[in-house]
Amino acid sequence: MLKVIENMRKIAAILVVLLLMVSIPSLVLADDAEEDQDEQDFDEQSQEQENETQDLEYNETEKEIEIMNNSLGAEIRLLQLEKSILKNILKGEMAVEVLKGLEFNTTALEAILGEMKILLEEVKTANTSSNDSVMIFVELKQEAINYTKQFREKIRELLDDVKLNEIRERIRELASGELHNYSKMIQNRIRQFNRNQLYRLYGIIGETNNSFINEYFNGNITLGQVKLQMCKMINQMSKENRYGVFSEIKEENIKSKIQAKSAVENIHNTGNGKGNGGHN
């Protein structure tokens, strides 16, 4: 009887050991799985965030290239890109000066600024009347975004949030004669572009007011006033004419949007405009 009880105890002990041996690895596995899940969730979240940012960039680019079906539109976009790159180079140089004063090693940051200067020269020499001007613009803009991102990440490795905010404050009020010249030049080209658009709109309406167009071009009338005047003019038409003009404008706008969308899709499908800021 005693032997039986002892045997039963042994069996119970073995069973307990077995149970422990089975449950501990399964607990470890479960924990690992949870960690993997957390990691996966984090990766998915980052990927999602990156995709959203990229979608926003694509939408913006699409909107920007809508006007690039003629050389004036292409010239405006490339000038605006030049201005944005120049502004970032100047801000970057100011930030580097501040960092040098704080005795930080700025070699990597200066290297990125060097690449941005080369990129700026490329944008300046881009051919606006070329058939590939849209593709050139998308590629160069993407490179500018990538270099800016690289600079931002590098400077974040060097400084804490407080110092970064201090630098942001210092470079916020950036005043540059060169930037001012760009702004003037771009404004002039945009007025030329809008003047052409006004002629087209008058063409749809069926009459022209040259003095009104010149008033806008010379800066005596704002774009807001022009838009308001055109709306008033169309609103005064008969229902049928108003609808006809509206339909024609809408058709033109949709055509430009479709062209821009297909151009961006073509560029991204062929793998262009996604470079990491490297030069060929």
Q: Which residues bind another protein (CB under 8 A)?
A: 60, 64, 67, 76-77, 80-81, 83-85, 88, 91-92, 95, 141, 144-145, 148-149, 151-152, 155, 164, 167-168, 171, 187, 190-191, 193-194, 197, 200-201, 223, 226-227, 230-231, 234-235, 239-240, 242-243, 246, 249-250, 252-253
C-alpha to C-alpha distance for 99 and 109, rounded to whole angstroms: 10
Is the Cβ of residue 154 or residue 268 nearer to another protein in the bound state?
A: 154
In 3D space, the residue among 166, 220, 214 whose CA is nearest the CA of residue 194 turns out to be 214
Is the Cβ of residue 40 or residue 53 nearer to another protein in the bound state?
A: 53
Is the Cβ of residue 10 or residue 200 nearer to another protein in the bound state?
A: 200
**Min. distance of Cβ 257 from another protein in angstroms?**
8
C-alpha to C-alpha distance for 123 and 45, rounded to whole angstroms: 35
In 3D space, the residue among 201, 175, 203 whose CA is nearest the CA of residue 90 turns out to be 175
DSSP state for residue 70 in the 8-state scheme: S
Is the Cβ of residue 55 or residue 60 nearer to another protein in the bound state?
A: 60
C-alpha to C-alpha distance for 133 and 124, rounded to whole angstroms: 12
Is the Cβ of residue 42 or residue 243 nearer to another protein in the bound state?
A: 243
Is the Cβ of residue 190 or residue 261 nearer to another protein in the bound state?
A: 190
Which residues are CB-contacts of 215 (< 8 A; sequence separation ≥ 6)? 221
C-alpha to C-alpha distance for 62 and 84, rounded to whole angstroms: 18
In 3D space, the residue among 112, 95, 113 whose CA is nearest the CA of residue 104 turns out to be 95
- Per-position b or e across 208-236, b if 16+ CB within 10 A of its CB: eeeebbeebeeeebeeeebeeebeebbee
**Min. distance of Cβ 52 from another protein in angstroms?**
15
